[in-house]
Structure 1
Amino acid sequence: MVPVNPLFRSTALVAALVTGALSLTGAVIAQDKVITHPQGETTISGVPEKVLTQDWAAFDNLNALGVAVAGVPSSNAPSYLADKLPADALQIGSLFEPDFEGIAAAEADVYFVAARSAAAYETAKDLVPTIDLSVNNTAFISGIKHNIALLGEVFDLQAKAEELNAALDAKVAEVTAAAEGKGTALVLVTNAGKLGVYGPDSRVAWVYNEIGMPSALDNVKDGDHGGDAVSFEFLLEVNPDWVFVVDRDAGTGENNGAAAALLDNELFNQTNAAKEGHIVYLDPQASYISMHGYQGVMLLLDQVLAGLNG
């Protein structure tokens, strides 16, 4: 038998102790995180690798942070996200009807719901760690920033989250400055040939609440789909200085260009907004389908800014 050098034994022992210490340190780094969200608390172990979402705004936010997503909704994908969707992504059901069998079989590390899919939480939480990213429309921008920061915590991407949120703050400030003194605004929604108005509780409430354009209409009863129903005669009476248009038909993929055709109307063309060319058609999917998505809101803010400065 070849004798073992005592120095080698000591070195090997030290190496083993260091390795063990590093393992223990690693366990501390990868410790469980308790994430608080609108429907409770969810425990996440380490940094999730396999990620599912039932919400396009959540996908938007994850993509903005550079997080790979393995499973997405099977319907209503916004066109501005088309080139960001993984070709091999699992299809896990529609926005309203998740495929719970497929979700369970995926054995994912985390599953995100929000808005239309928030009701899936009660079933999903027993299948996979589930987090609700729903946003209150009355605190639109702060809600998006909260979700970006939360996702930064979940995926250990805090620095990237801070960078994104700083850029969003800067964009909001730029649009707010451009909107100052520009007059009153209305956000119109067109839906199957009908007109509605979105107000300070709607899916585009940031036009009023965050960039500070005063509403041309004092009281608005927000409706999820068609807003507060109005007529062309009423619009002429209210006579807004600016009109921002959400084409719901185009947003749901039913009839592109329906809003522009509907608003080519003798009465509407007499409003200050129409006469001055102060009509901005918002991206229909960013404003209707994925309204709480980071990249979508940045796109919409850019469209509003271009309109105001045009």
Structure 2
Amino acid sequence: MKKILYVILSISLIMSLFAGCGKKGESVKSDADSQITTEAGNSEETDENKNEENTNVKNDDAEENSDTNGTVKNSEITIEHTKGTVTVSADVKKAVVFDFGILDIMDALKVEVEVAAPVSSLPSYLSKYENAYNAGSIMEPDLEAIFEFEPDVIFIGARQQNYYDQMSEIAPTVYVQTGADTYLEDVKKNIGYVAQIFGKEKEAQDAINSLSSLVEDVKALTANSNERVLIMLTNDGSISVYGSGSRFGMVHDLLGAKAADENIEASTHGQSVNFEYIADVNPDIILVIDRTLVVGGSNTANTVLDNDLVNGTNAAKNNKIISLDPDIWYLSGGGITSTMQMITDVKNAFVN
């Protein structure tokens, strides 16, 4: 009997020992699983931190390439004009300017770069550039001098358009122009070129707003007036007249002034006329541009127009033969200062 009890107790003890080992194993396994889970969580946290750091680095890089408004800066600017498309550096240091309208715009917007220009033909109101690098004459650019100047951009107008291809080989070349029936739009476009290239957008918009406002004022005057206008250019004794669609046609096409002769031939150099023509047309207002004062000659407009036929017109009788500044009208139309002055000249012809 005792022997049987001993066997039963031995078996119970052995089973207890195995049960304890099993629980200990489960505990060990549970601790290991917990450690693995913790390490996985830490790994995920580390990856998230890395992603956050990478995002911050990218954001920092983006901020370095953006301006204060958050707009990504470009190292180059693309300009589309009537002769093609050019890419200009966003950091222009040197500019060759043959079109005085553009030089006028740069001056009005206070662009500060090194300038090369046809200094011998500068309008008097742009005389501050008389010590600029000489780029040749207004009709014959000095290509060698321009090459040596190493410009970042070149601006040309109609007088230099035959040199466009040669200048384009030296630097990005922008061709600008102003049409009679698209005058204000063209001036705005030219202002836009300068604003884009030299970072003067706000100043440009202010100038455009002022021009547009003045145009509307003058259009209101001309709409309520029956006075007929004749635009005249004198050149050392010869006389040409200009009408709608011509070089100075903005007086009619933009500002709405009624033409003394609606059949004037539209051409670059105007329609040649004599004194009898002027007497027959009998304009109420004569706007005179004296080219002689710009290019030289012995017969000025005052001398040429002082005769009985001209003095018998309504314009002469009402003291409305008005001399216009040839530097503004002949040399540098299409600028901010010049266009403001041209519109003001027409305004004064109707209010005085």
TM-score between the two structures when normalised by the length of structure 2: 0.78
Alignment of 1:195-234 (within 5 A): 195-225=239-269, 227-234=270-277
Pairing partner for 2:221 from 178, 181, 198 = 178
What does the per-residue CA deviation read over 1:275-296, in whole Å, with 9 as the maximum and x for residues that have no partner? 1111111111211111222211
Match of 1:285 in 2: 327
- Partner Cα separation in structure 1 for residue 349 and residue 62 of structure 2: 59
- CA contact under 8 A between 1:32 and 1:46: conserved in structure 2? yes
Correspondence 1:62 to 2:106:
yes
Match of 1:115 in 2: 158
- Partner Cα separation in structure 2 for residue 76 and residue 24 of structure 1: 42
- CA contact under 8 A between 2:261 and 2:281: conserved in structure 1? yes
Task: Give, in angstroms, the shift of residue 161 of structure 1.
Answer: 0.9
- CA contact under 8 A between 1:197 and 1:222: conserved in structure 2? no
Match of 2:339 in 1: 297
- CA contact under 8 A between 1:30 and 1:47: conserved in structure 2? no
- Partner Cα separation in structure 1 for residue 202 and residue 63 of structure 2: 25
Pairing partner for 1:258 from 297, 300, 308 = 300
Correspondence 1:80 to 2:122:
no
Task: Give, in angstroms, the shift of residue 75 of structure 1.
Answer: 2.4
Match of 2:203 in 1: 160
Alignment of 1:27-176 (within 5 A): 28-68=72-112, 69-82=114-127, 84-85=128-129, 87=131, 89-176=132-219
Task: Give, in angstroms, the shift of residue 18 of structure 1.
Answer: 7.3
Name the structure where helix makes up a greater proportion of residues. 2
Match of 2:238 in 1: 194
Task: Give, in angstroms, the shift of residue 223 of structure 1.
Answer: 3.9
- CA contact under 8 A between 2:234 and 2:301: conserved in structure 1? yes
Task: Evaluate the alpha carbon distance shift between residue 201 and residue 247 of structure 1 in structure 2; reply closer, same or farther with a 3 A threshold.
Answer: same
Q: Decide which moves more: 233-242 or 63-72.
A: 63-72
- CA contact under 8 A between 1:76 and 1:253: conserved in structure 2? no
- Partner Cα separation in structure 1 for residue 60 and residue 130 of structure 2: 38
Pick 1 or 2: higher relative contact order, CA cutoff 8 A, min separation 6: 1
Q: Output the amino acid matched with 1:48.
A: V
What's the secondary structure of 2:119's corresponding residue? coil
Task: Evaluate the alpha carbon distance shift between residue 172 and residue 17 of structure 1 in structure 2; reply closer, same or farther with a 3 A threshold.
Answer: closer
- CA contact under 8 A between 2:119 and 2:130: conserved in structure 1? no
Match of 1:241 in 2: 284
- Partner Cα separation in structure 1 for residue 153 and residue 286 of structure 2: 40
Task: Evaluate the alpha carbon distance shift between residue 207 and residue 73 of structure 1 in structure 2; reply closer, same or farther with a 3 A threshold.
Answer: same
What does the per-residue CA deviation read over 1:42-96, in whole Å, with 9 as the maximum and x for residues that have no partner? 00122322222112111111111111351111322111222x3263x10001111
Aligned residue pairs, count: 296
What's the secondary structure of 2:140's corresponding residue? coil
Q: Decide which moves more: 60-69 or 38-47.
A: 60-69
Task: Evaluate the alpha carbon distance shift between residue 235 and residue 33 of structure 1 in structure 2; reply closer, same or farther with a 3 A threshold.
Answer: same
Task: Give, in angstroms, the shift of residue 135 of structure 1.
Answer: 2.0
- CA contact under 8 A between 1:58 and 1:114: conserved in structure 2? no
- CA contact under 8 A between 1:55 and 1:73: conserved in structure 2? no
Provide structure 1 residue ranges, at least 5 long, that are not aligned to the other structure: 1-12
Task: Evaluate the alpha carbon distance shift between residue 263 and residue 16 of structure 1 in structure 2; reply closer, same or farther with a 3 A threshold.
Answer: same
- Partner Cα separation in structure 1 for residue 149 and residue 159 of structure 2: 21
Task: Evaluate the alpha carbon distance shift between residue 134 and residue 266 of structure 1 in structure 2; reply closer, same or farther with a 3 A threshold.
Answer: same
Q: Output the amino acid matched with 2:169.
A: D
Match of 2:316 in 1: 274
- Partner Cα separation in structure 1 for residue 256 and residue 287 of structure 2: 14
- CA contact under 8 A between 1:246 and 1:281: conserved in structure 2? yes
What's the secondary structure of 1:127's corresponding residue? coil
Provide structure 2 residue ranges, at least 5 long, that are not aligned to the other structure: 1-53
What does the per-residue CA deviation read over 1:96-147, in whole Å, with 9 as the maximum and x for residues that have no partner? 1111111111122111111211222111111111111122233112211111
- Partner Cα separation in structure 2 for residue 176 and residue 28 of structure 1: 41
Match of 1:3 in 2: none
- Partner Cα separation in structure 2 for residue 18 and residue 285 of structure 1: 52
- Partner Cα separation in structure 1 for residue 58 and residue 239 of structure 2: 72
- Partner Cα separation in structure 2 for residue 281 and residue 192 of structure 1: 15
Q: Output the amino acid matched with 1:78.
A: P
Q: Which has the larger radius of gyration?
A: 2
Match of 1:9 in 2: none
